[in-house]
Chain A
């Protein structure tokens, strides 16, 4: 494992914090606009890509 995996851990965490911000912005009903949904999809993709990269290095 390398620094890259550590860096990807931060990338995943930071994207999750951005998702947390989305919940904060839309409280208390969490009704998401189309823009919000696109942002959420992009952030989830970032988290997945970071985790995939860690998993790949582990193999």
Chain B
């Protein structure tokens, strides 16, 4: 994601926070298998 946003010309691209959003859901095991998590991402258009 960071690479994609940088490639598009965004500046100051940052992942600010991660969340274990699928904890205690029926898809928790799948999320763990693929390393799926929620994230807060910031970017600025030049």
Q: Is chain B found bound to chain A in the same assembly?
A: no
Residues of B within 8 A of A (CB): none
| Chain A residues at the B interface, C-beta cutoff of 8 Å | none
